[in-house]
Amino acid sequence: MKDFTSTPPPVKHIAEPTVRRLSGYLRFLEAFDVEGHETISSGELARAGGTTSAQVRKDLSFFGSFGKRGLGYAVKDLIASLREILGLDTRWPVVIVGAGKIGAALAQYRGFGTHGFDVVGIYDTDPSRVGTRLNGVTVRADRDLEGDIATLTPRIAVLCVPGEAAQAALDRVVGAGIRAVLNFAPTSLVAPEGVTVRAVNMATELEVLAYALTNESRD
Amino acid sequence: MKDFTSTPPPVKHIAEPTVRRLSGYLRFLEAFDVEGHETISSGELARAGGTTSAQVRKDLSFFGSFGKRGLGYAVKDLIASLREILGLDTRWPVVIVGAGKIGAALAQYRGFGTHGFDVVGIYDTDPSRVGTRLNGVTVRADRDLEGDIATLTPRIAVLCVPGEAAQAALDRVVGAGIRAVLNFAPTSLVAPEGVTVRAVNMATELEVLAYALTNESRD
DNA sequence: AGTACCTTGTGAAGGATTTCACAAGCACCC
DNA sequence: GGGTGCTTGTGAAATCCTTCACAAGGTACT
């Protein structure tokens, strides 16, 4: 007798690096699928993701067993499983706070939509930006933020405001019920327990590179 | 007799998370300095950086001892030390490959320059973009890339090209001598030994948030 | 039907990073 | 000038993550 579930193990706590890698596997598999491949081995997946085959198998093993011994993984099935694991079997409404250079660029980024995220609102304090359209969504005044969050119920906010305004923006979206935030402002933010904040910080990325270049004596 | 050096320990290998945190401390300290504070304790720094005081002290201890027991750290001195550690006592010339939405937004990002990085070139294949000016730098044709890298000797390249073009762009800049790359394309890249590639991937960040929201059963 | 070959899934080992806990050092005050 | 209070710097312990190594399971070929 076979069982029905495709994701058996009762998931405990998964390390963030693992989740990041899963996302990377998914990205690669989508391209691999388009190229017409039917199956893939943990070794191939590892090479593409810059890791090892054992790591790939261990990452997946936290959530179930998805492969066939001797064969590898069915590409389409693994894509579906990863989507489910990452919570991408629903679409996620997102608000963008700040319609400056970065906010505008993000709003127009197509990959947003194709990966399961819908921009349902963009907000700015600058009256000259309010009312303009970005990729089909009209920029609204920041005073509409709380009301819109209540009615549109986005689960994720992307902050693209200047550093000085970032903490205030975070406090507002959190106050309105948002519990997951992606912060593009170059400031580290303090959030209450239960709110996940991820930061994308240009300066930090460049500094990590500068450090690597300065210390290239690691063999 | 006192010794001269402010960074005594012969640094072995430092974990990437440590370097990221150091960058974060620096970011916060710069703001803290502007507010007029003279000293800071590891505890305050920890709260700002979302970590613990022991972690802060351990991170710094890899590079030397910068504080005064009972007092804390002198803000200006610690800023200078961190800048030196991260390799920010020189300026770093940077080229941006791709002048689309993201490339253009980055080129106009002021924080670039204020943190020690100079955009010395922007390249694109689209003739309609070549010749336009972005924040004082003229977009040049992609065929100028190799020659410019040879003469301007940037050490870092920022890739803002579409996913399909990213690996080719990486190969070109690496071929021209670049050894540190920041990749904004949503593709994971394969680079030869000795080349550091860091990826900033919108999709991955959002997916980590989606995962967190889907599994908010972690108390 | 059996053999050879390949790849997964996973305990166990090994390494790395974080946290703990406390001695040592410094300033301030009486 | 000794006591008090605070904070650093750091070995040691604990935790977390990765790598190893191999049994188990599947396919293909003879």
| Per-residue pLDDT tens digits of chain B, which is 219 residues long | 434 334 555 568 999 999 999 999 999 999 999 999 999 999 999 999 999 999 999 999 999 999 999 999 999 999 999 999 999 999 999 999 999 999 999 999 888 888 999 999 999 999 999 999 999 999 999 999 999 999 999 999 999 999 999 999 999 999 999 999 999 999 999 999 899 999 999 999 999 999 999 986 544
CB-CB contact of A45 with A66 (8 Å): no
- Judged by DSSP in three states, A114 sits in helix
From the list B47, B92, B215, which residue is nearest A210 (CB)?
A: B92
pLDDT of amino acid A217: 57
All structural domains of chain B with their residue ranges: 16-86, 92-204
B16-86 topology per CATH: Arc Repressor Mutant, subunit A (1.10.10)
What's the gap between Cα B194 and its chain centre?
Answer: 18
List CB contacts of A144: < 8 A, sequence separation 6 or more: A121, A123
pLDDT of amino acid A4: 38
CA gap A102, B55 in Å, rounded: 32
Longest dimension (CA), chain A: 66
Which residues from the 30-59 window of protein chain B have CB within 7 angstroms of nucleic acid chain D? 41-43, 53-54, 57-58
CA gap B95, B121 in Å, rounded: 5
> Does domain B92-204 bear CATH number 3.40.50.720?
yes
- Identify the residue whose Cα has the smallest distance to the C1' of D6: B70
From the list A105, A156, A190, which residue is nearest B209 (CB)?
A: A156
The sign of the dihedral angle between the CA atoms of B47, B53, B59, B61 is positive
CATH number for the domain formed by residue range(s) A16-85: 1.10.10.10
CA gap A78, B73 in Å, rounded: 51
Amino acid at B65: S
